[in-house]
Structure 1
Amino acid sequence: MGRYVLRRLLQMIPVFLGATFLIFLMVYALGDPVSALFGDRGPDPATAAALREEFHLDQPVWRQYLLYMRDILSGDFGTAFNGEPVTALMERAFPISFRLMLVALVLEMILGIALGVVTGLRRGRGLDTSVLLLTLVVIAIPTFVLGTTAQYFLGVELGWIDPAVSPDPRLDELLVPGLILSLVSLAYVTRLTRTSIAENARADYIRTAVAKGLPRRRIVVRHLLRNSLIPVVTYLGTDIGTLMAGAIVTERIFNIQGVGYQLFQGILRQNSPTVVGFVVVLVLIYLLANLLVDLLYAVLDPRIRYA
């Protein structure tokens, strides 16, 4: 196991460098951030030259990347064009988005897996058909429509929630935004669990467990569900990074100043240190989440061993 983890960590290095370099190139292609900082007024030539020299914008793009990675490895993510360190923005934004991601992940795990198990065991019946249609509707409707509708009816019409959350929201304030963020993923988890449960329910080891007279609850929980969770865990692991980075729409709707908000502001203002710094951390989160998923395979299925 130790050698496998070490090998995977080493494999992450070229993936991390390649992903961050592509991100750096894409942000570089957005345009001149110094000109965007001054807007329509246009920068003073001397001031613009000083800013380009300070942020290494007068260097070739490959050299900019090397200088930026050197600073990152020393813990310096640069300074945003408003003069605030990017790490200060991260300290405020990541805890908020992490709480939002945690709420969304727990909701999609509990509701998605529960609905998938129930419909998988009742495949072809009325409940199964209804849940499948409902998941198709959720997948088809854009997130901003679901979010603004929930915000209007629950916040404005009924007054059950605040239309906009506080600057440092508690977990209970993030329940509705977390549900909106998780709805599409919840629908996919439900359908994936349903398919896996229905497929494994016809397996030989389930028929053997039934023939041995084991209780139905033990068969479902200890045998059927455990073996059916591997594809679900794979999806949930990759979804962690997606929830962290894909909250731009949800955070804009509910005025949550997390990672999505900072990324939106950085892209809008062509603030390359902010955008690249946040995405670099998201890439690391995504890679570590995938490593954790691979290690969980051995927990779910004892037949899987890593050398």
Structure 2
Amino acid sequence: MGRYVIRRLLQMVPVFIGTTFLIFVMVYALGDPVAAMFGDRAPDPATAAQIRHQMYLDHSLPAQYIHYMGQIFRGDFGKSADQRPVTEIMGTAFPKTIKLTLVAFAIEMVVGIGLGLLAGLRRGRFADSSVLAVTLIVVAVPTFVTGYVLQYFVGVKWGIAHPAVSEGTPFKDLIMPGVVLAGVSLAYVARLTRTSVAENSRADYVRTAVAKGLPRRRVVTVHLLRNSLIPVVTFLGTDIGGLMAGAIVTERIFNIQGVGYQLYQGILRNNPQTVVGFVTILVLIFLAANLIVDLLYAVLDPRIRYV
């Protein structure tokens, strides 16, 4: 196991370098960040040249990338357009998005797996058809439509929850945006769990467990569900980073100034330091989530061994 973890960590290095370099090139190709700092006013050529030199923009893109990565390893992610350190913005944005992601992930995991298990155990019946129909509708409806509809009816018209998240992002205010953020992923988890449970319910080890006289609950939870969760865990692990990166729409609807909000502002204001810095952290989260998923395989299926 130890050698496997070390090998995976070494494999992450070229993936991290390649991914961040592509992001760096694409973000800096959006336009001139110095011109964006001055807005509609044309900057003085001498002043613009000085700022470009300070931001290392007077070098080639590979040289800029190497310089930027050197800064990151020293804990310096640069400054935003308003001269605030990007690390300071991260310190306020990431805790809010992490809270939202945890709420959305819990809803996605509990409700999605529960619905999928119900549909898989009753394949071909009314419950199965209902779950498939509802999840198909959830996947088809855009997130911003779901968000605005829930915000209007649940938050404004019925007054069940706050239509916007208050300062400090309390967990009670994050339930509705968490449902919106988790909606599409929840539908995929339910359908994936349903397919896996329905397929494994006809496996020999399940028939053997039933023939031994084991209680139905033990057969379902210990034998059937445990083996059926392997593809679901794969999706859930990779979806953690996806929830954080995909919170742009949800955070704007519910006035959450988290990672999605800051990424949107960075792109809108052509602020590459903020965008690249946030995306670099998201890449690390994606890589860590994939490693954790691989290690969880051995927990779910004892036959899997890493060497």
1:181 corresponds to: 181
1:34 alignment partner AA: V
Deviations 1:45-91 (A, max 9, x none): 22211211111111111110000000001111111121100000000
Amino acid at match of 1:156: V
Aligned partner letter, 1:105: F
The code of the aligned residue for 1:215 comes to P
Pairing 1:1-307 to 2, within 5 Å after superposition: 1-307=1-307
Deviates more, 1:272-281 or 1:37-46: 37-46
Tell me, in whole angstroms, the C-alpha distance in 2 between the residues paired with 1:43 and 1:266.
20
Provide the C-alpha distance between the structure 2 equivalents of 1:109 and 1:61, rounded to a whole number of angstroms.
42
Q: Which runs of no fewer than 5 residues in structure 2 stay unpaired?
A: none
Deviation of the 1:154 alpha carbon: 1.3
CA displacement 1:116-157 (0-9 Å, x = unmatched): 101100000011101101100000000000001111111111
1:48 is paired with a residue of what secondary structure? Answer: helix
Maintained 8 Å contact 1:107/1:182 = yes
State the Cα deviation string for residues 31-57 of structure 1 (Å, max 9, x = none).
101111211122222221121111111
- C-alpha RMSD over aligned residues: 0.7
Measure the CA separation in 2 of the matches of 1:161 and 1:52. Answer: 48
Conservation of the 8 A alpha-carbon contact between 2:117 and 2:193:
yes
The amino acid across from 2:79 in the alignment is T
2:39 aligned counterpart, secondary structure: helix
Sequence identity percentage: 68
In 2: Cα distance, 1:112 partner to 1:216 partner: 21
Between the two proteins, the alignment pairs up a number of residues equal to: 307
The C-alpha deviation readout for 1:141-199, integer Å capped at 9, x for no partner, is 00000001111111111122222212321111101001100000000000000000000
Runs of 4+ in 1 over 4 A off after TM superposition: none
What one-letter code is carried by the residue in structure 1 that aligns with 2:152?
A: Y
Query: Structure 1: which 5+ runs fail to align?
Result: none
Q: After TM superposition, give the deviation of residue 23 of structure 1 in Å.
A: 0.2
Q: Secondary structure at the match of 1:146?
A: helix
TM-score (norm 1): 0.99
Amino acid at match of 1:211: A
1:100 and 1:177 in contact (8 A); partners too: yes
> Does the 8 Å contact 1:113/1:193 carry over to 2?
yes
| Cα distance between partner residues in 2 of 1:42 and 1:229 | 58
Does the residue aligned with 2:137 lie in a helix, a strand or coil? helix
C-alpha distance in structure 2 between counterparts of 1:114 and 1:69, whole Å: 43
Instruction: Verify the 8 A CA contact 1:167 1:257 in the aligned structure 2.
Output: no
TM value normalised by structure 2:
0.99
Whichever residue aligns with residue 140 of structure 2, its letter is A
Three-state SS of the structure 2 residue aligned to 1:59 is coil
